[in-house]
Chain A
C-alpha cells in the first residue's frame, strides 16, 4: 500500500502541511473558510521541530498496529491493504490508543471536546482523495509511495 513518508533532510519546518491537512479534513471548500469559520480546524499531521531538524509525523499505518490491538471498542481497524482507520461512531474517547501509538499520531478531536479521537486516513475519506500534505509540501519533503517492508524498516 502507498503510505506517506517524510524526508527530514528536506523538511523545512514551515508547518504548512498541518494547515493543509486541517483544511482537507474540515469539510470546507477553502482553506480560509476552514480556519475563519471553523476555528478548531485540526491537523492529523504534526511537524516536530528541534533546532535545525524538522519532520512531519502522521500515522505510519504500521504492520503490527498497536492502536488497533489496544482499542477497547473496535473503533480502530485495519483493512486488507494496511490502512488504519477510525470509526468515530464507536470511539468512546478512552484514549487507550493515544497512549499506545509509538509515534503520537492519534489526535484527540478538540472539535467535539475530546469525546473522540481522529487520525490520518491518508485522505481517503475526505474530499481531498489524495494526501493533501504531500500535494502541498513546498519542498517535496513528504512523498506518497509504495515501499517494501525492508525499505520501511530502514527508515523507522
Chain B
C-alpha cells in the first residue's frame, strides 16, 4: 500500500466524562466509526469513515458526542480549495468520475434570499388567516380560455381537461424506490394521502404494496422506462414524463447496484445488484413532436382521464423549451432548478450544469403569458424550495404549485450529509439495507411530513394575509408583491420585479 493522501473530513469529539460506554453509537453507525476497546475500557473512533450524518450525536444518551470539521487544513489558496485538491487526489487514486448526492452546495446566488415580500399598510387591509377564510387549494391542468354556459346557466364542464386537485399547494417530488427506501416511500405515500396532495414514484416503478395509495400518486415515466406497465400507469392520478432533472441536466438517472435489492429489482424489472442507469435521452424523443406522441400514447393508454406532466431541468433557453411543451399537449410542466437534490449524480455536473429555478420560473411564466398560452399548462416549480417564504416567492413568480423533496427528507431525519450514493444512509432513507431501513418508522415519519406541510401552509396563509390576499389564485404571478434586494437591472428584468424602495 502507498500513502493515502486523504485526511479525515470530520473530527469525532467524545466527552469521556459523560460517555457511559453504552456502545449505542457503535451499533448505530453504518460507517463503523465508533468501536469499544476492552483493554482500555474506552470508546475509540475511525474518524476517517465519518460522513457527519449526526446519527450518533442524536442518539447518544449522554450528549457526549460532537462532530466537527477536521481542523487540520491544507495550505490556503483561493484558486485551489482543499475540496478541489482532495477531489483530484480521489480521482488519481480511483480513475473514476466523482459522485455526489443531494443538491448543488456551491456558492451560487440564491435568488429567494434576494427577494422581499410585500405587506399591506393603511390603504388595503391585511387579512387575519385565523379569523377569515383563506384558500390555498389548487387545481393543476389546462384551463379554459372562455366560459361557456349550459342552457340552465351552469358552467359547461364537458370539455374540461383532467385536473389534479391539491388540498395543499405542495407535492413531494419524484424520488424513486431504489434511491430511497421502502419505509421512506411508505411515509411519503401515507402523508400525501392524509394531506390530500401527491407524491411521485420517481423513475423506479411502484411497489405492489403502494398501489393502495393510487389516488395520491403521480407515476413517473423516465428514459429507462423502469417498472412501466399498464397497471403502473393506471395506478397514478397523473403521469409524469421525466425529460430532465435539475441536479443532473443532460444525463439519466444512476442507481448504484448496491441499492438494487430483491424488491427493488422486482419493482424496476431489472436484475438484482446491477447498476440501473437510465439513458440520457428518451430514445424515442428528439423533438417536441416526438414528445407529443409520447404524451398522447400515455393519454390514450389511460383513456384521457389523467393529466400528463412533463418535467424538465432548468437550463439555458428554458422559456423556449417550455413554450414548446405547452403546445405539445402536456397538462402540467415541472421546472426543476439546478439546486434540486439527487440520490447520485456526477459531481461536476451537479455543481456546474443548469440554472437557478427562480430565473427559470420567472422567464417561463413570462414567455407563456406573452404568447398567450399560459392557460394551456400549469407550472410546478421544483429544485430547492426550502421554506414557506421561498414558496410564497415562487407563487408570486408564477408557479401554480411546488414540489419539495429535500425538506421532506429533512422532515423524516435526513441530516444532509450528502452521502446517499454510498447506500448506507444511517437514517434509513437512502438505503436498501434492511437493518438501516428499519430505522425509519413510517408511523412516526408520515406524521412529521404532514406536520411540515401543514406548518408551511399556515405560514403561506399568514404571508398572504399580510399582503391582503385571501386566495392563492390572487398571489400567482403577482410579481408586484416582490421586490429585489442587491440585484442588477438584468436580474430584476428577468425576475420581472422592481427593486426594494421602488
**Chain A residues within 8 Å of B, Cβ to Cβ:** 9-10, 12-16, 19-20, 31-32, 34-36, 52, 136, 138-141
Q: Which residues of B contact A (CB under 8 A)?
A: 17-18, 20-24, 27-28, 59, 61-62, 434-435, 438-439, 441, 443-444
Structural contact, A14 and B441, CB atoms closer than 8 A: no
CA–CA, A16 and B27, complex, Å: 10
Say whether B27 contacts A15, CB under 8 Å. Answer: yes
* Chain B residue at smallest Cβ distance from A16: B24
Q: Are A20 and B438 in contact (CB under 8 A)?
A: no
A43 to chain B, nearest CB (A): 11
Q: Which residues of A contact B438 (CB under 8 A)?
A: 9-10, 12, 139
Q: Tell me, rounded to whole Å, the shortest Cβ–Cβ distance linking A48 to chain B.
A: 14
Cβ 8 A contact of A16, one of B21, B59, B434? B59
List B contacts of A15 (CB < 8 A): 22-24, 27
- Could you list 25 examples of A-B contacts with CB < 8 Å? A10-B438, A12-B438, A14-B24, A14-B27, A14-B28, A15-B22, A16-B59, A19-B22, A19-B24, A20-B61, A31-B61, A31-B62, A32-B17, A32-B18, A32-B20, A32-B62, A35-B22, A36-B20, A52-B435, A138-B59, A139-B438, A139-B439, A139-B441, A139-B444, A140-B443
Q: In the complex, how many angstroms separate the beta carbon of B53 from the nearest chain A beta carbon?
A: 15
Tell me the minimal C-beta distance from B315 to chain A in angstroms.
42
Shortest beta-carbon distance from A72 to chain B in Å? 36
Interface SS of chain B: loop
Judged by DSSP, the binding face of A is: loop
Least distance between A114 CB and chain B CB atoms (Å): 23
B360 to chain A minimum Cβ distance, whole angstroms, is 40
A135 to B17, CA, bound (A): 25
Measured between alpha carbons, how far is A13 from B22 in the docked complex, in Å?
A: 12
Known: A52-B434, A140-B441, A140-B443. A14 touches B20 (CB 8 A): no
Q: Nearest-CB distance from B32 to chain A (Å)?
A: 15
Complex-state Cα separation, A136 to B27, whole angstroms: 17
Query: B residues within 8 A CB of A136?
Result: 61
Roughly how many angstroms separate A19 CA and B441 CA in the complex, as a whole number? 22
A20 cross-chain contacts in B, Cβ below 8 A: 61
Q: Are A14 and B59 in contact (CB under 8 A)?
A: yes
- On chain A, the residues within 8 Å of B444 by CB distance are 139-140
A19: chain B residues at CB < 8 Å are: 20, 22, 24, 61
Shortest Cβ distance from A147 into chain B, in angstroms? Answer: 17
B27 partner residues in chain A, CB cutoff 8 A: 12-15
Within the assembled complex, what's the spacing in Å between the Cα atoms of A31 and B22?
11
Pairwise interchain contact B20-A35, C-beta atoms closer than 8 A: yes
Closest to B59 in A: A138
Which partner residue on chain B sits nearest A20 by CB separation?
B61
Q: Which residue of B lies closest to A36 (CB)?
A: B20
Enumerate chain B residues within 8 angstroms of A138, measured Cβ to Cβ.
59
> Closest chain A residue to B434 by CB distance?
A52
Q: How far is A32 from B439 in the complex, measured between Cα atoms in Å?
A: 26
- Once bound together, how far apart are the Cα atoms of A34 and B441, in whole Å? 30
CA distance A141 to B444 in the complex (A): 11
Is the Cβ of A31 less than 8 Å from the Cβ of B20? Answer: yes
CB of B441 within 8 A of CB of A16, answer no
